[in-house]
Structure formats: structure tokens, C-alpha cells
């Protein structure tokens, strides 16, 4: 989906449906975050809009937070191979070279995805645009040592970073 650039005044003027249409994709598979943030309009600034969106995510029930985390695809996983990623996820994974893994690297990602899902019950989420393949693999190893509650918070923090990077090109200064 192509997203047109809007000013904060234009964002504030959108009705709920159009607001969700423009911003619902920011949090993977979770347009409810944008729908709830709409209720807190008007936003004084882009940073105020971002803070409102993140506030909805952090204030959500644990069940909603886990559903948000689970909406994210495995890195270099089945959805990527089958071409089933959202356009944003596909571009983000490609930015870290996850669409160009060697067979050994692919096997390592597959093992780590499985170990992580088994330990925590949800997919590993990281803001791949801030990483390389190597730093993602290092983060996998480090984060597998976390306790589940800490890892939920880490995943949400990573989701917030992803949303920020998705939001920035949408808005005019």
C-alpha cells in the first residue's frame, strides 16, 4: 500500500476510518492501536501522535500485547519464503539482508526462531532496519536468556521502533 504524506493538521482532521486507513499498518496486523489513538486527537505534533500510538500499545491488556507480538512474522521464516509478508515487513527484512541468506544462515535463523518460539510462545521481534544479519543473530542469543516478562517488554519496545520508522515517511514537517 502506498501511503501519502500528510501534515499533523491533516491527520487531526481525518475521521476514524481514514485515520485507521492511513496509520493502521504501523503496528503489524493491529489497526486497533490506531483506532484507539484516534480518540486522543488532536495531536500537537508528530511526536505527540507517536506517543499516543505507543501509549495505546503499552496500556493494552497483556492478551492484546501478545496478539500484537504474534502478528509479526518470523525473521526469514515461512511467510517470507511463501511471499506472504506485508510489503512493509518484506522491505524491512530485505534491508537487513534476510532475503539473501545462505543455506547455513537460513538454517541458523530457523533454529533460533524455533527455540525462541518454544521458550516464549511468540515470535522474535526486532527492528531489523537498525540491524545487520549478524547483530540480529547476536540479539537472538542474548534475548533467549531473558525471562518471559522482560522479553515481552523488549518485543514491545522493538515494535515501537518499527512503528516510528514506518510513521516518519508519512508525515510532512
Does 86 have pLDDT greater than 90? Answer: no
Residue 57: name the closest of 169, 160, 131, 171 by CA.
160
Please tell me the least confidently modeled range out of 34-38, 133-137, 152-156: 133-137
Dihedral sign for Cα 15, 21, 24, 26, please: negative
The predicted-structure confidence for 49-59, as pLDDT tens digits, reads as follows: 999 999 999 99
The predicted-structure confidence for 124-148, as pLDDT tens digits, reads as follows: 999 999 999 999 999 999 999 999 9
User: What pLDDT does residue 80 have?
Assistant: 66
Model pTM score: 0.91
Q: Where are the alpha helices (DSSP H) in 14-168?
A: 16-23, 32-38, 46-59, 62-70, 78-81, 87-95, 103-120, 133-143, 148-167
Who has greater pLDDT, 101 or 26?
A: 26
In CATH terms, the fold of domain 73-147 is: UraD-like (1.10.3330)
Range 55-77 average pLDDT? 93
User: What pLDDT does residue 95 have?
Assistant: 84
Catalytic annotation, pick one of 3, 18, 22, 72: 72
Active site residue 72: yes
Residues 6+ apart with CB under 8 A from 21: none
Chain mean pLDDT for the chain: 91
Who has greater pLDDT, 7 or 93?
A: 7
Amino acid at each position: 500500500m502506498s501511503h501519502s504524506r500528510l501534515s499533523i493538521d491533516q491527520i487531526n482532521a481525518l475521521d476514524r476510518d481514514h485515520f485507521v486507513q492511513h496509520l493502521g499498518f504501523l503496528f503489524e496486523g493491529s489497526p486497533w492501536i490506531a483506532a484507539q489513538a484516534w480518540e486522543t486527537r488532536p495531536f500537537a505534533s508528530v511526536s505527540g501522535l507517536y506517543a499516543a500510538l505507543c501509549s495505546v500499545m503499552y496500556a493494552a491488556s497483556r492478551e492484546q500485547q501478545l496478539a500484537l507480538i504474534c502478528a509479526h512474522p518470523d525473521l526469514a521464516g515461512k511467510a517470507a519464503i511463501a511471499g506472504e509478508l506485508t510489503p512493509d515487513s518484506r522491505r524491512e527484512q530485505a534491508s537487513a539482508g534476510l532475503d539473501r541468506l545462505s543455506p547455513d544462515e537460513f538454517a541458523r535463523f530457523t533454529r533460533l526462531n524455533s527455540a525462541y518460539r518454544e521458550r516464549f510462545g511468540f515470535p522474535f521481534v526486532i527492528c531489523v532496519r537498525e540491524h545487520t544479519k549478524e547483530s540480529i543473530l547476536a540479539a537472538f542469543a542474548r534475548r533467549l536468556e531473558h525471562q518471559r516478562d522482560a522479553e515481552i517488554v523488549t518485543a514491545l519496545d522493538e515494535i515501537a521502533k518499527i512503528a516510528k520508522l514506518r510513521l516518519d515517511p508519512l508525515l510532512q514537517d
